[in-house]
Amino acid sequence: MEKRYKKIIRCSLNIKFYFFLFFYLLLIKFNIFSDQTNDLLKNALIYENNGNYDKALEYYQKYIKVNNDEKVFLKIIRLTQDYDEIVQKYNDFLIEFPVSRFRFIARYELAKIYLLNNNYKEALKEFEKLKEFSRGNQYYYRSSYNIANIHNKLKNYHEAIIEIDNLLSDDENIYNKAECFYLSAIINIKNGNYKEAEKNLLFCIDNYSSSDIVASCLFELITIYMKMNDIDNVNYYSDKLNKGFPDSFENYIIKKKLKNNNTNDNELIYYNENELINDNRIRSDLKLSLEIDSSNELINLKSYYLQLSYLSNYENAKILLDSYRLKGLNDIFISRTESASSNKIFYRLLIGPYFNLKDAKKRKEELDSKKIDSIIMELVKSYE
């Protein structure tokens, strides 16, 4: 009996030993797998930060096969170049993650992709869907504005005005009323209703002085007065534009027209809209969707850039960008940034990144030899 009891105990101990051994080996395997997965993500982030987007995409796609992360899914879409593939992947995301927090911004970006590629029919369809499911938040108002703008582009002015009037009459809409007055003015200009356009532009200028759209409103107002040969108002509002937005593209064009005594030009110049995402909710979703989790570590990727200019207007930055590229600087690009002190948007002309100071200094010396001024900036990107 005693021998049998001892045998049972030994068997029990053996079972426990093998159980713990199995569990231990399983844990090691899991940790190795976890480390390999995190290495894929880290490599992807490093390649992306280095500007090697093809290689970054390769590692992100390997990572997504073992970890179906919605943020990485969006990252892959944003790095994809082929239009049809981008559209398909956004639709896949919306099916794969139907209740994701990022479903709103994913559909918004899909609609913008259609719009930027002049596929107005599909853009209209996506903005209508987004509007239907986002009542009361910023996506609703941004979608409504884009719907009005698409109708404007398609010359469906009646439908555009209805959408704008609904936005302007909505007391809860505190997000884009300035843009609505501006778009209403543009539609009135296109239909020859200059007095109504003048009324909308003046209201926008007087009541939304802190809005980015004011420079565009001043530009359109001045061109109306030029058409009407109202020299006093041309000079008054040109001076206001010059003082308020001295380095803007609008001011550059108006100065050029005045210098050439072109105030009787009957052709109105429509400012090309460059929509910026200033809405807090949309910007918050965008920022959050770009934050990639890698094993709860903070991956600091220190890099250096050469800054050649710092401007407050996007169109002006594009003009300068083109001039630098004519000088052979094909790797220069525009980076949008927000001032921490004033919350205003600015645009840097940058070259980089360089992952050691020596390379950055070497490139600066090359620019100095061509008499191109630049400063070295250190930037740390943090992915949490």
What is the structure's pLDDT at 136? 75
Domain 102-280 homologous superfamily, CATH: Tetratricopeptide repeat domain (1.25.40.10)
- CATH 1.25.40.10 spans which residues of the chain? 102-280
Distance between CA atoms of residues 255 and 249, nearest Å: 10
What is the structure's pLDDT at 42? 84
Taking only the tens place, the pLDDT of each residue in 260-275 is: 766 554 444 444 443 4
Q: Does the pLDDT value for residue 31 go beyond 50? A: no
**What does the DSSP 8-state code read for residue 348?**
E
Distance between CA atoms of residues 155 and 149, nearest Å: 10
Q: Phi and psi (nearest 5°) for 381?
A: -95, 130
What is the structure's pLDDT at 211? 77
Residue the block writes with tokens 């843009």: 179
What is the structure's pLDDT at 330? 82
What is the structure's pLDDT at 278? 46
Which CATH number is 301-383's, of 3.20.20.100, 3.30.70.1070, 3.90.79.10, 3.40.50.880? 3.30.70.1070
Distance between CA atoms of residues 233 and 123, nearest Å: 39
Distance between CA atoms of residues 126 and 120, nearest Å: 10
Segment among 32-46, 227-241, 284-298, 358-372 with least mean pLDDT: 284-298
Q: How many CB atoms lie within 10 A of CB 372?
A: 16
Segment among 116-120, 234-238, 374-378 with least mean pLDDT: 374-378
- Grade residue 137 by pLDDT with cuts at 50, 70 and 90: confident
Q: How many CB atoms lie within 10 A of CB 254?
A: 24
What is the structure's pLDDT at 184? 93
Q: Phi and psi (nearest 5°) for 209?
A: -65, -25
Cis check: omega of the bond before 246, within 30 degrees of 0: no
Contact 220, 197 (CB under 8 A): yes
Q: How many CB atoms lie within 10 A of CB 266?
A: 6
Taking only the tens place, the pLDDT of each residue in 275-311 is: 434 455 666 666 666 665 444 343 344 568 888 988 8
What is the structure's pLDDT at 96? 93
| DSSP sequence for 97-131 | -TT-TTHHHHHHHHHHHHHHTT-HHHHHHHHHHHH
Highest mean pLDDT pick, 180-189, 205-214, 250-259, 270-279: 180-189
- CATH 3.30.70.1070 spans which residues of the chain? 301-383
- Grade residue 24 by pLDDT with cuts at 50, 70 and 90: very low
Determine if the pTM surpasses 0.85. Answer: no
Distance between CA atoms of residues 170 and 374, nearest Å: 48
Give the chain's mean pLDDT. Answer: 79
Residue the block writes with tokens 């909710």: 281
- Grade residue 25 by pLDDT with cuts at 50, 70 and 90: very low
Distance between CA atoms of residues 151 and 158, nearest Å: 8
Q: Does the pLDDT value for residue 220 go beyond 90? A: yes
